[in-house]
Amino acid sequence: MSRGYVITRDPDDFGVMNKTVIVVMSVFAGAVLLLFIVVPVLVIRLMPRDIPPFDDARLRPETFQIAPESNAYTYFLQATNFLVWSTNTAEVDAVLNGTAADLSFAVQLVASNHAALALVRQGLTCDRCVAPEVTDLLAPTPNLTPWLYLGRVLAMKAKIEIKEGDAGGAKSSSLELVRFGWMIQDCPSSLIHYSVGKALSKMGDDACQNLVLSGHLDEKQLVDLSNRLASYAPSQKGFVRAIQLEYQMTSKTIDDLCAGRFITNRVNQAVRRFAFPLVFQPNRAKQEGYKAYLSIIDSSSNSFKVITSMKSEAKSEQASFPPEAFRIQRHLASTIAGLFSLSPVDTLGRECRSRCSFDATRVIIALHRYRIRYSEFPETLDDLVHEFLPAAPTDAFAGESLRYSPKRGIVYSVGKNCVDDGGSEESLDPPEPAAKSKKGGRTKDLVFRIE
């Protein structure tokens, strides 16, 4: 007979084991609670809050309402539909640079654009060009490149008229080009729009200078050209509006980033909607951009020399600024704003270059008026004041008078290096081709020939 055994366990053992399991589970639950609830809550509580929305009224652009038939934009846009352009850019450049031996190519291209130029002229009779505002980073601006092409067609037309000795026609074409650029930059829809207007105005300045240097204009025509040019000085109002619109686009882009607009995955969108406002602090990022854009506007009336010295002082002050509790977040906000911000030095440098081109054009006209009257060029630019110019022209880079060398036949600005190199056209960036260096304003001095 077999003997059975019954294994028994002390009831206290079960109590001990249950307590151990409960303790382990409690520790685990506590760790989970700490990791996923307490720590994030503490981080959020300790992390500095985003600043509240702030008043950015100074960077809100004025809104214009204008009937289509009174809006130059209507006609400029229609003109692009009739544009005929050539893919032979080398031939176009040769005509505009004055190196083309034969202008038959230009004559044919200008004739092909008769309808387009007629629409441009119709637009030039309007008081204002108001294009739809560009407030979206991804918004297309398809009309801008064709406008540049239309400007080059007008510049070629002026070249042909100078070649044919048609001083009146060349003067009209040159002034049409100047006004075309001025109207686009005076009420821009974006900073790029404004820059296209500036480029067209520069083409107009060059066309006027070429016409004056051709010697086809008498004193009466030179006076008329100078007086009409005075109405098309670089538009400070347009520059301010362009910066305002750039800020508005930056602000909207920050909102779009926080809303996950540029992310297609829904899970990632949800994460971004939580993380971006928390980490990048959109209002603080907007404020950083607001201060940067406002600084550009406030500095635009200064010379380039003053602007660069102010920039250096600002960097020095920023380096010595005491660390803040939210230093990381402030840095991130600045980084986000900086992705869309403009370079003050580059932006204002282009403005100075534009002002120098315009002022030099008027000086060249005054010099030729002086020579017609006195049979020679003056010794100094001060000799032009009162009789030919209301005041001595200022070099926007140096904040001093434009330089002038009657012996070398040039008027010049000290350029971006703010050093008088005697009218040197040596490139500041030797590896670059000369044409590109001159176009980018990287020559030592910004030189304009008077004969």
CA torsion sign, 193 to 134 to 235 to 72? positive
The CA distance from 325 to 316, in Å, is 21
What is the reported pLDDT for 437? 39
- Average pLDDT value for the chain: 83
Q: Which residue has the higher pLDDT, 33 or 369?
A: 369
* Percent share of the chain, pLDDT over 90: 55
pLDDT digits (tens, 9 = 90+) for 168-217: 999 999 999 999 999 999 999 999 999 999 999 999 999 999 999 999 99
Residue 449 pLDDT > 70, yes or no? Answer: yes
Least confident of 142-156, 213-227, 283-297: 283-297
What is the reported pLDDT for 321? 34
Whether residue 315 contacts residue 162, with contact meaning beta carbons closer than 8 Å, is answered with no
pLDDT digits (tens, 9 = 90+) for 57-75: 999 999 998 999 999 999 9
Residue 435 pLDDT > 50, yes or no? Answer: no
Residue 432 pLDDT > 60, yes or no? Answer: no
The CA distance from 153 to 117, in Å, is 8
The CA distance from 344 to 230, in Å, is 27
pTM of the model: 0.82
State the average pLDDT over residues 96-113: 93
pLDDT digits (tens, 9 = 90+) for 238-278: 999 999 999 998 888 888 877 766 665 554 555 555 555 55
Tokens representing 365?
A: 């006209």
**Which residues in 64-84 are b (16+ Cβ under 10 Å) and which e?**
eebeeeebbbbbbbebbebbe
Q: Which residue has the higher pLDDT, 343 or 382?
A: 382
Q: How far is CA 172 from the centre of its chain?
A: 29
CA torsion sign, 323 to 327 to 333 to 335? positive
**Which residues in 92-109 are b (16+ Cβ under 10 Å) and which e?**
bebbbeeebeebebbbeb
Q: Which residue has the higher pLDDT, 315 or 62?
A: 62
Closest CA to 423 of 438, 435, 434, 413: 413
